[in-house]
Structure 1
Amino acid sequence: MRDVLSTLTRDVLFGPLDTPGRTEAVVNRLRTAVALGVLADGAQLPSEVELAAQFNVAPGTLREALAALREEGIVETRRGRGGGSFVRVPESLHVAHASALLASMPPPEFRDLSDWRAAVAGASAELAAERASDQDVGHLGSLAGSLAAAEDEATARRFDARFHIALAAAAQSRRLSTEAINLQVTYAPMLALVYADPDVRREGGTRLAEVADCVRAGEAERARRVVTELTSDTARRLSRLRSRTAAPGTGTGREAR
């Protein structure tokens, strides 16, 4: 299942784009691939022609996206023999991107994405409790433990993302898995801000371990309730942070939950 999930994650992150604002969409896809560890530090990207074809964008759009990533320090381009574009993972990547995303997101969009994340996680947990294999459950427990032991927010955010993707995979639903991966682009980067607190990292790992235990015991309703409560608590934490960091003109409105 993990090999299938890895393939699906790549398929989603490097699949054709069908949304406007394609330069920023390419940037977000590649940034998310780095954050999830799909693209490791030092990895060489495909050629510009190949990558543009994968995303179904014009070569100029792809070059603009790579230029933006170079400015962020995420991509390094080398010329000559053995040249190409290579991944770099600056320590500031996750927090800087999370802060910018949270501050710029309008309240209705933040609330809608928070609701959708809770819905996808809840449905995944409920179905996983009915369908997960022993291997799936063991993997979920391992990811929860890794989150609790994470030493920084970037690592914690990565294990949180992998847990939710693995939970959807354990539900044996390709659609839920695809949505769980999509949420890593649109919402999950902001979790780096929540996981800056070591206590929250430990609490998050403990509560995800409880979800894994519910899945193991086949307690579908409880699994849904626990993961939904956790995602709702996370949204409230982010909402409080957002009220202090919202960009001028976005307004505070009625925050999520």
Structure 2
Amino acid sequence: MTGAGDAVFRPVRAGNAFEETVERLLQAIRLGVVGAGERLPPERELAERLGISRVTLREALRALADAHYVESRRGRYGGTFVMATLPEPVTGDRRPELEDTLSLRYVLETGAAELAAGQALKPAAREHLTATLADASAASLGDYRTRDSRLHLAIAEVTGSASLTSAVADVRMRVNRLLDEIPLLEPNLDHSNTQHEAVVNAILTGNAQAARQAMAEHLDGTASLLRAFLT
């Protein structure tokens, strides 16, 4: 598989390997690089081309199987195959709305994390952050997005800027409407919790640059999944 296959199955970035792998695999399916009913490259080859571990690849394939894009077959001629009938695509061109939302979110939330880390946080603010982080980490699938939203709002709140908090709340509503259209993927939630911890730790230790970078990486992972399923 060359040409388009090489372009799609290129190494992903380490920071959001699972999310980007899902995005690349869906690109390959939707662009017809691997057509309906066709077999994906063997796991070992695919993992090497994407520059990821086979564990990460299997998590991504399992997520796509749960979303009815691929299926695994056993036996001599087994492997992972694209489903003969794929889920119905999202109607309309969502790219303008999606990219506008993601751009605004990136500016607001990386800025909020950086600003929060630059504050001399009072004990109540520090407790607010740690409590909302713990709530998000302990969330079930059913209430994850609510608690995740609450943590992102808490980061804005501790900056002390009511206008910034209001803006983050508005963009989070837009993001959540988009997230409601894609499946919840447990590996992504585990990864998000790790990234949340990095953001909050950077804020609590007053490392503004690290807070901004950690938030940027976190947002990039969500953006990869939204682009994968909605465009």
The match for 1:202 is: 190
How far residue 195 of structure 1 moved from its aligned partner, in angstroms, is: 6.8
- Residues 34-78 of structure 1 deviation map (CA, whole Å, 9 limit, x = unaligned): xxxxxxxxxxxxxxxxxxxxxxxxxxxxxxxxxxxxxxxxxxxxx
How far residue 176 of structure 1 moved from its aligned partner, in angstroms, is: 0.8
How far residue 159 of structure 1 moved from its aligned partner, in angstroms, is: 1.1
Q: TM-score, normalised by structure 1?
A: 0.50
Alignment check: 8 A CA contact 1:149 1:202 kept: no
The one-letter amino acid of 1:146's match is D
How far residue 104 of structure 1 moved from its aligned partner, in angstroms, is: 5.2
196, 206, 226: which one pairs with 2:214? 226
In the alignment, the residues of structure 2 paired with residue 141 and residue 185 of structure 1 have an alpha-carbon distance, to the nearest angstrom, of 23
Q: Which has the higher helix share?
A: 1
Is 1:191 equivalent to 2:179 in the alignment?
yes
Q: What SS does the aligned partner of 2:104 have? A: helix
In the alignment, the residues of structure 1 paired with residue 157 and residue 183 of structure 2 have an alpha-carbon distance, to the nearest angstrom, of 24
The match for 2:169 is: 181
The match for 1:140 is: 129
In the alignment, the residues of structure 1 paired with residue 196 and residue 129 of structure 2 have an alpha-carbon distance, to the nearest angstrom, of 8
| Stretch deviating more after TM superposition (108-117 or 197-206) | 197-206
% identical equivalent positions? 23
Alignment check: 8 A CA contact 1:144 1:206 kept: no
Is 1:238 equivalent to 2:208 in the alignment?
no
Is 1:171 equivalent to 2:171 in the alignment?
no
Structure 1 residues 103 and 159, CA, compared in 2 at 3 Å: closer, same or farther?
Answer: farther
Alignment check: 8 A CA contact 2:94 2:230 kept: no
In the alignment, the residues of structure 1 paired with residue 109 and residue 186 of structure 2 have an alpha-carbon distance, to the nearest angstrom, of 23
- Residues 60-99 of structure 1 deviation map (CA, whole Å, 9 limit, x = unaligned): xxxxxxxxxxxxxxxxxxxxxxxxxxxxxxxxxxxxxxxx
Structure 1 residues 106 and 192, CA, compared in 2 at 3 Å: closer, same or farther?
Answer: closer
In the alignment, the residues of structure 1 paired with residue 96 and residue 148 of structure 2 have an alpha-carbon distance, to the nearest angstrom, of 24
Aligned length: 141
In the alignment, the residues of structure 1 paired with residue 179 and residue 187 of structure 2 have an alpha-carbon distance, to the nearest angstrom, of 14
The one-letter amino acid of 1:143's match is T
Structure 1 residues 103 and 177, CA, compared in 2 at 3 Å: closer, same or farther?
Answer: farther
The match for 1:60 is: none
Structure 1 residues 212 and 219, CA, compared in 2 at 3 Å: closer, same or farther?
Answer: same
Cα-Cα RMSD: 2.0
Structure 1 residues 155 and 221, CA, compared in 2 at 3 Å: closer, same or farther?
Answer: same
- Residues 105-156 of structure 1 deviation map (CA, whole Å, 9 limit, x = unaligned): 620221111011111111111111112333223222222232232221x411
In the alignment, the residues of structure 2 paired with residue 231 and residue 211 of structure 1 have an alpha-carbon distance, to the nearest angstrom, of 11
In the alignment, the residues of structure 2 paired with residue 185 and residue 105 of structure 1 have an alpha-carbon distance, to the nearest angstrom, of 20
Q: TM-score, normalised by structure 2?
A: 0.56
